[in-house]
């Protein structure tokens, strides 16, 4: 039986290496690949569910055209290509290329994803999006402070004396990281979790600190106050490697534990205790998740948390550091392309307008010169995953022509005029990086695409021909391996054949990040004081705290958190039978006091609402939730009763153009 090396290309920290068994043209088993020291335990439940996910019976296998009655009927590729060529060219000649929106989400990783923009450049340009739904506030805060987004290898965590999981639920979103947490605990290390919820990760912790959502910046300022007051600062490290210490010390002088308690709800004694842990149990690694950087104040919050490591000298040493995003293996990613983050400043030679991903619906509707007339969506499900889905829906409905490329009829695909079937990870070879471990990997073609399925690169190549656009430089059908080899050639020794044997450490990957203590910031030091932060984002040059924009008092007393969920990757996997059989389905987690105040009991159906929209869900009492806080996981869509993003507002974070999903107040009442 042939067994192939591959890797899971989902937008997930773990990016597991796989060994894929193929029998009779079908995938029959998925196992761990021993060449990846970060993912030795193999695929998670979602990974194993690929056996169902890639089966033809559960997918779209031909282009589908929506008829006047709203139903989809299969269409041949010739007719689909003719239709697209005619409609997109008509829009271009009347309104210009920017009347077409090109929207790409994070559905899959791969170098070949770049084919999309390569095509639209040849089209003469388009309207594209800037920013990102995921992590940019934290990326930008890290870049401003340390100069670069990289961190030590996953296994270095086993050497930590203290691990702080701060707004990260690794037990569900980065399951392989827990192996290294366990190793650290077995060696006598400690785990602290900082999260308004008691998560699966918190079950392993010696201490769970539960700040009011969106107030972590104040907690970090209070911790810095105690570290300085009690002499836990590593003066030699600070003098040599930190810019802005004196100014920051002055800033936190007023942030007593009592003031931090008032801002965060964390008892002053707990602030003191946590500061002592940070000061005495080193080496300290802070695994900062993405939870607390989904607020309007979150870039500043992340800078304040980073400052704790700078003050205590916990950077550049084994077992110490800031584990946020490790782009060492992300050598080909668009994330590294400043174009995607700051497009307004970086012209790329084609007519291009950029609108905000976080404000997608509003910005689409507001665009007038030229107005948007058509859209192409791939690897994304903005009608479920972007804030304010009702506005995104309205903006899509106002267009004349919409194409969505996806495996199945998602909330977004259901709004399309034409749905094109997309390939699975086993049907086209590509090369991927990761954002947690330092390996480059191949995602190999091991089976033929079923039905009429064509990879995106092939769709673009045919469409370019149909439209009379230059196809030179696009990936011709069957030409992806040659195209990939050409791009790998700048990394000596890195070939597809080598990757087919197993994962390869990225060139220059460091086991202990910043070991040389060279920080590529303007000053060459860790910047607590960042002039660039002030210049680029208009924030205070020092980390500080301002409450999230949606903070009481007002008509909506409850903060809605909508984190990621064990059983899905955003809107992916959650509709599969094997997952549904194990998943409790969408529900609203609520503390008993908040439920009782509203006369609600376990299992009651409730209306969750604000002035944007409403959602009906069953209530699940969660004894660990802080009062004033309710939780519903993102990823469920219309077939499950609607996305949580009906309730969120299209609003950017203070830096990085991220989406402030959790800056979201609601109320809850019994549903009639
Ligand atoms: N199973 C699974 N794994 C995934 C994903 C998935 O959808 N499902 N998605 C992948 C992707 S794209 C991402 S971005 C990552 C995200 O993975 P994580 O970094 O773990 O991010 P979130 O689930 O957004 O939030 C983590 C925690 O932050 C908490 N939180 C919310 N607000 C606050 C706050 O104000 N302060 C603090 N301290 N905590 C807060 C939430 O309660 C939650 O438990 O996971 C990746 N892995
Ligand atoms: N309220 C709230 N909303 C959130 C979040 C939150 O914490 N709270 N988290 C945000 C985060 S962190 C993220 S990363 C985003 C994710 O947002 P998206 O990237 O839009 O979401 P996904 O559901 O992961 O993937 C989108 C689609 O890609 C498709 N897809 C997968 N592989 C391929 C492929 O090879 N080709 C094509 N054409 N399509 C493919 C999938 O079938 C899926 O329908 O969601 C964000 N939304
Ligand atoms: Mo994400």
Q: What's the CA gap between 28 and 337, in Å, rounded? A: 38
Q: Is the Cβ atom of 11 under 6 angstroms away from ligand 2? A: yes
Kindly report, residue by residue over 624-662, the tens digit of the pLDDT. Answer: 998 999 999 999 999 999 999 999 999 999 999 999 999
For a ligand 1 pocket test, name from 169, 193, 304, 546 the mutation site with the most ligand atoms within 8 angstroms of its C-beta. Answer: 169
User: pLDDT confidence of 342, banded at 50, 70, 90?
Assistant: very low
- Using DSSP, state whether 422 is helix, strand or coil: coil
User: pLDDT confidence of 335, banded at 50, 70, 90?
Assistant: very low
Q: Is the Cβ atom of 166 under 6 angstroms away from ligand 1? A: yes
How is residue 241 written in tokens?
């490697």
Q: Is the Cβ atom of 168 under 6 angstroms away from ligand 1? A: yes
For a ligand 1 pocket test, name from 270, 564, 567 the mutation site with the most ligand atoms within 8 angstroms of its C-beta. Answer: 564
Closest ligand 2 atom number to CA of residue 105:
19
Q: What's the CA gap between 132 and 137, in Å, rounded? A: 9
The full set of domain ranges for the chain reads 58-130+331-432+439-505, 136-327+512-537, 558-670
CATH for 558-670 is 2.40.40.20
Handedness of CA 653, 656, 657, 660 (dihedral sign): negative
For a ligand 1 pocket test, name from 132, 168, 219, 289 the mutation site with the most ligand atoms within 8 angstroms of its C-beta. Answer: 289
Kindly report, residue by residue over 230-256, the tens digit of the pLDDT. Answer: 999 999 999 999 999 999 999 999 999
| C-alpha of residue 661 to centroid of ligand 1, in Å | 11
User: Residues within 5 Å of ion ligand 3 by Cβ?
Assistant: 134
Nearest ligand (C-alpha, residue 174): 1
| C-alpha of residue 568 to centroid of ligand 2, in Å | 10
How is residue 393 written in tokens?
């829906």
How is residue 556 written in tokens?
């909506």
Strand 665-670 versus strand 605-609 pairing type:
antiparallel
Res. 487: pLDDT tops 90: no
Nearest ligand (C-alpha, residue 424): 2
Closest ligand 1 atom number to CA of residue 166:
38
The mean pLDDT of 129-144, rounded to a whole number, is 95
Q: What is the pLDDT of residue 340?
A: 41
Contact 469, 461 (CB under 8 A): no
User: pLDDT confidence of 466, banded at 50, 70, 90?
Assistant: very high
Q: Is the Cβ atom of 152 under 6 angstroms away from ligand 1? A: no
136-327+512-537, CATH topology level: Dimethylsulfoxide Reductase; domain 2 (3.40.228)
User: pLDDT confidence of 58, banded at 50, 70, 90?
Assistant: confident
Closest ligand 1 atom number to CA of residue 567:
1
Return the exposure string of 264-302: e unless at least 16 CB atoms fall within 10 Å of the residue's CB, then b. Answer: bbbebebbbbbbebbbebbbbbbbbbbbbbbbbbbbbbb
58-130+331-432+439-505, CATH topology level: Rossmann fold (3.40.50)
- Using DSSP, state whether 189 is helix, strand or coil: coil
Q: What is the pLDDT of residue 346?
A: 38
Question: Using DSSP, how many helices (H) and how many strands (E) does the chain show?
Answer: 23, 27
| C-alpha of residue 56 to centroid of ligand 2, in Å | 21
The mean pLDDT of 612-619, rounded to a whole number, is 96
Kindly report, residue by residue over 273-311, the tens digit of the pLDDT. Answer: 999 999 999 999 999 999 999 999 999 999 999 999 999
Q: What is the pLDDT of residue 277?
A: 98
Of the candidates 632, 624, 623, the residue with the CA atom closest to the CA atom of residue 668: 632
How is residue 341 written in tokens?
């983050």
Q: What's the CA gap between 581 and 571, in Å, rounded? A: 16
Residue 262 buriedness (CB in 10 A; 0-12 / 13-18 / 19+): middle
Q: What's the CA gap between 240 and 296, in Å, rounded? A: 33
Q: Is the Cβ atom of 43 under 6 angstroms away from ligand 1? A: no
Determine which residue's CA is closest to atom 47 belonging to ligand 2. 385
Q: Is the Cβ atom of 411 under 6 angstroms away from ligand 2? A: no
Nearest ligand (C-alpha, residue 571): 2
| C-alpha of residue 568 to centroid of ligand 3, in Å | 12
| C-alpha of residue 382 to centroid of ligand 2, in Å | 8
How is residue 111 written in tokens?
């170098």
| C-alpha of residue 88 to centroid of ligand 2, in Å | 25
Percent pLDDT > 70 in the chain is 97
Nearest ligand (C-alpha, residue 566): 1
Residue 412 buriedness (CB in 10 A; 0-12 / 13-18 / 19+): buried
Q: What is the pLDDT of residue 332?
A: 65
Of the candidates 662, 120, 657, 25, the residue with the CA atom closest to the CA atom of residue 343: 657
Kindly report, residue by residue over 392-407, the tens digit of the pLDDT. Answer: 999 999 999 999 999 9
User: pLDDT confidence of 553, banded at 50, 70, 90?
Assistant: confident
Determine which residue's CA is closest to atom 26 belonging to ligand 2. 380
Nearest ligand (C-alpha, residue 264): 1
Nearest ligand (C-alpha, residue 647): 2
| DSSP one-letter string for 100-150 | EEEEE-SS---GGGGHHHHHHHHHTEEEEEES-SSSHHHHHHHHHHHSS--
Q: What's the CA gap between 444 and 246, in Å, rounded? A: 53
């Amino acid at each position: 039986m042939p067994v192939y090396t591959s890797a899971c290309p989902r937008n997930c920290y773990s990016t597991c290496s796989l060994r894929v068994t193929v029998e009779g043209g079908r995938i029959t088993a998925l196992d761990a690949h021993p060449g990846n020291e970060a993912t030795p335990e193999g695929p998670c439940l979602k990974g194993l569910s690929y056996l169902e996910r890639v089966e033809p019976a559960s997918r779209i296998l031909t282009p589908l055209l929506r008829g006047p009655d709203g139903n989809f009927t299969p269409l041949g590729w010739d007719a689909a290509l003719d239709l697209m060529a005619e409609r997109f060219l008509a829009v271009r000649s009347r309104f210009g290329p920017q009347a077409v929106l090109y929207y790409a989400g994070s559905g899959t990783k791969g170098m070949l994803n770049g084919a999309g923009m390569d095509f639209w450049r040849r089209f003469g340009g388009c309207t594209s999006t800037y920013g990102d739904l995921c992590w940019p506030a934290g990326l930008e805060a890290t870049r401003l402070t340390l100069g670069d987004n990289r961190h030590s290898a996953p296994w270095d965590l086993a050497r930590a004396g203290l691990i702080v999981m701060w707004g990260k639920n690794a037990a569900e979103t980065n399951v392989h990281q827990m192996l290294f947490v366990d190793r650290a605990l077995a060696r006598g290390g400690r785990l602290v979790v900082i999260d308004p919820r008691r998560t699966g990760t918190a079950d392993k912790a010696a201490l769970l600190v539960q700040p009011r959502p969106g107030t972590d910046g104040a907690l970090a300022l209070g911790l810095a106050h105690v570290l300085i007051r009690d002499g836990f600062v590593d003066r030699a490290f600070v003098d040599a490697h930190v810019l802005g210490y004196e100014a920051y010390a002055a800033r936190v002088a007023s942030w007593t534990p009592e003031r931090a308690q008032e801002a965060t709800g964390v008892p002053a004694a707990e602030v003191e205790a946590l500061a002592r842990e940070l000061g005495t149990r080193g080496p300290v690694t802070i695994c900062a998740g993405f939870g607390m950087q989904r607020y309007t104040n979150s870039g500043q919050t992340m800078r304040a948390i980073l400052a704790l490591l700078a003050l205590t000298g916990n950077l550049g040493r084994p077992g110490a550091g800031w584990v946020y995003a490790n782009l060492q293996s992300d050598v080909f990613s668009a994330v590294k392309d400043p174009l995607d983050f700051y497009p307004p400043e970086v012209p790329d030679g084609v007519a291009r307008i950029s609108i905000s991903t976080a404000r997608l619906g509003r910005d689409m509707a507001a665009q007038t010169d030229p107005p948007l007339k058509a859209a192409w969506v791939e690897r994304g499900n903005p009608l479920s995953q972007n804030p304010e889905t009702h506005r995104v829906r309205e903006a899509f409905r106002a267009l004349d022509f919409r194409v969505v490329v996806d495996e199945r009829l998602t909330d977004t695909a259901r709004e399309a005029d034409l749905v094109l079937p997309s390939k699975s990870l086993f049907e086209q070879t590509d090369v991927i990086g990761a954002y947690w471990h330092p390996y480059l990997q191949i995602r190999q073609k091991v089976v033929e695409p079923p039905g009429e399925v064509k990879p995106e690169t092939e769709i673009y190549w045919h469409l370019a021909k149909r439209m009379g656009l230059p196809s030179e430089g696009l990936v011709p059908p069957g030409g992806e391996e040659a195209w990939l080899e050409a791009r790998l050639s700048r990394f000596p020794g890195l070939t597809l054949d080598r990757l087919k044997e197993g994962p390869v450490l990225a060139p220059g990957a460091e086991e202990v990040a910043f070991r040389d203590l060279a920080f590529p910031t303007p000053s060459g030091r860790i910047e607590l004081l960042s002039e660039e932060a002030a210049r680029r984002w208009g924030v205070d040059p020092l980390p500080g705290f301002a409450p999230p924009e949606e903070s009481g008092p007002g008509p909506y007393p409850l903060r809605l958190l909508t984190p990621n969920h064990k059983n899905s990757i955003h809107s992916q996997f959650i509709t599969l039978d094997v997952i549904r059989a194990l998943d409790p389905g969408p529900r609203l987690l609520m503390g008993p006091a908040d439920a009782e105040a509203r006369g609600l009991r376990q299992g009651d159906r409730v209306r969750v609402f604000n002035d944007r929209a409403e959602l009906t869900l069953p209530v699940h009492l969660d004894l660990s939730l802080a009062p004033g806080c309710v939780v519903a996981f993102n990823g469920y869509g219309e077939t499950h009763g609607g996305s949580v993003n009906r309730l969120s507002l299209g609003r950017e974070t203070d830096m990085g153009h991220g989406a402030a999903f959790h800056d979201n107040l609601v109320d809850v009442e019994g549903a009639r």
